[in-house]
Amino acid sequence: MILNSLRLFKIVRIVLKYGIDEIAMSGLRIPRTAKVIKALLFWRDLSAPRGERLRKSLEDLGPIFVKFGQVLSTRRDLMPPDIANELALLQDRVPSFDPDLAVAQITKSLGAHPDQLFASFERVPVASASIAQVHFATLKDGREAAVKVLRPGMKDTIDRDVALMKIAAGWLEFLWADGKRLKAKEVVGEFDKYLHDELDLMREAANGSQLRRNFADSDLLIVPEMYWDLCSSSVIVMERMKGIPISQIDKLQEAGVDLAKLSRDGVTIFFTQIFRDGFFHADMHPGNILVSIEPATLGRYIALDFGIVGTLNDYDKDYLSQNFLAFFQRDYKRVAEAHIESGWAPKETRVDELEAAVRACCEPIFDRPLKDISFGQVLLRLFQTSRRFNVEVQPQLVLLQKTLLNIEGLGRQLDPDLDLWKTAKPYLERWMSEQVGWRGLIDKLKAEAPRYSNIFPQLPRLAHQALSRAAEGKNNDALLVSLIAEQRATNSLLRTIVYFGIGLVAGVILAFSYVNFFMVPVV
């Protein structure tokens, strides 16, 4: 409790120091309150641009707040350009920690000094993120590598911040009518889980290995190889990737990269991860995505940082595919029915009313390129609709929602003329055909064939056992019926005996009273 109070005090102090309160109230119609606060805090130096002050405050607050800024930086349509430009610096320019601490971490985790483990090791980090920083190195066999080192003391910092977030979520659900519908506590719980998973770099290495295996035969995405002999929970070593950050549009054009194709490929990669694999990179901000400029792989995506991944089960994939496809076909009735059938909306919801509300939100954005769509307004209207119909937020899909924001932000930067709907619809139709049509049935039969080959020879024995159990069940049922009948007869006899006994006693008492009262001799 004391640590939480201290952390809360620090948050308030940083907010006041950088004038974040002034930024927050600048859009509200409370000028008098703003003037009073400005007069009370006259000592503050707020000469720096507001975007720079916001970025520095997030850096001072720690990794959770940095990640929040990273997500916001991809949504330039939701904030002024000056703030978006500053927040973009959080993607790969978070202040680094002392290289001596990195060397000590490597020595402790891998059991030897970097000079002994590598042919060369660059002490100056090449990139620094909210959770870890990266150094380049060369292995003994000459292969170039990237060494990722966890920031010291991260677990304690995250534990304190998440504890405050849980308190805030509790208050949100208690004070705000929409708090319970939005499942604030469960959302924070999901965020907590994935943040702590990100602290285990061995888990990140395993995630990267899985993603590399999923796209082993793909000509769209490159994933670095993990060098397992040099990996631990706080240090991992992987293949060094060379490319241009996806946010550097001018350099990509100079290198001859087709931005329109790159944008379409990004959509394909996203839907492939979601619907084919059910395993997706959930931290796809520009700082984690490079584009290859090597002649053999020109224009391919390069994925980095696999600390946060999402998974979807078959039910989630089926539900999402039906919704996406119905949405792209403008079948708003099916969208409404899917929400009710899945339990996202109450069972008593009228399909026609929800259908009309979804149509009003989505119809204006079809057949328009991203540059002409105000997703801020769309999100606002969707939120208002979900509140009206008590549609519940699904915590297991929070990462997917976050990734969708990242993907849309990247698409807007690469190709504002991209028609997202026309790009995604053929893929979804093909996927649905593979899953639901004859091809899907044949594929599933093939996948289950080894299991069938073991079951078929056992069918006669299993049938005999089932029939035997059924016969035993019938005999047991007959015995049970006899026992129940016998018990009922016994109960009836007991009731007769009890009633007879009570009547006998009552008769004796009455007879005794009669004799005493009427037969007493008169003196």
Is 367 tagged catalytic?
no
* Catalytic position from the list 192, 265, 283, 305: 283
Question: Annotated binding residue at 127?
Answer: yes
Question: Annotated binding residue at 168?
Answer: no
Instruction: Return the closest-CA partner of residue 351 out of 375, 326, 370.
Output: 326
DSSP 85-138: HHHGGGGTBPPPPPHHHHHHHHHHHHSS-HHHH-SEE-SS-SEE-SSEEEEEEE
- Let me know how long the chain is: 523
HEC profile for 292-303?
CCCHHHCCCEEE
DSSP 17-83: HTTHHHHHHTTSS-HHHHHHHHHHTTT----S-HHHHHHHHHHHH-HHHHHHHHHHHT-GGGS-HHH
Question: Annotated binding residue at 134?
Answer: yes
Coil, helix or strand for 289? Answer: strand
Question: Annotated binding residue at 345?
Answer: no
DSSP 338-370: HHHHHTSS-TT--HHHHHHHHHHHHGGGTT--G
Question: Annotated binding residue at 132?
Answer: yes
Question: Annotated binding residue at 48?
Answer: no
Question: Annotated binding residue at 449?
Answer: no
10 Å CB burial of residue 438 (0-12, 13-18, 19+) is exposed
Question: Annotated binding residue at 248?
Answer: no
Instruction: Return the closest-CA partner of residue 72 out of 91, 53, 57.
Output: 91
Residue identified by tokens 């035969």 is 217
Q: Are 335 and 353 in contact (CB under 8 A)?
A: no
Q: Are 90 and 83 in contact (CB under 8 A)?
A: no
Instruction: Return the closest-CA partner of residue 223 out of 149, 139, 141, 279.
Output: 279
Question: Annotated binding residue at 104?
Answer: no
Phi-psi region of 302 (alpha: psi -120 to 50; beta: other; left: phi over 0): beta
Helices then strands, counting H and E runs in the chain, come out as 21, 11
Q: Are 166 and 143 in contact (CB under 8 A)?
A: no
Question: Annotated binding residue at 131?
Answer: yes
Binding site, residues? 126-134, 148
Binding site for ATP, residues? 126-134, 148
Catalytic residues: 283
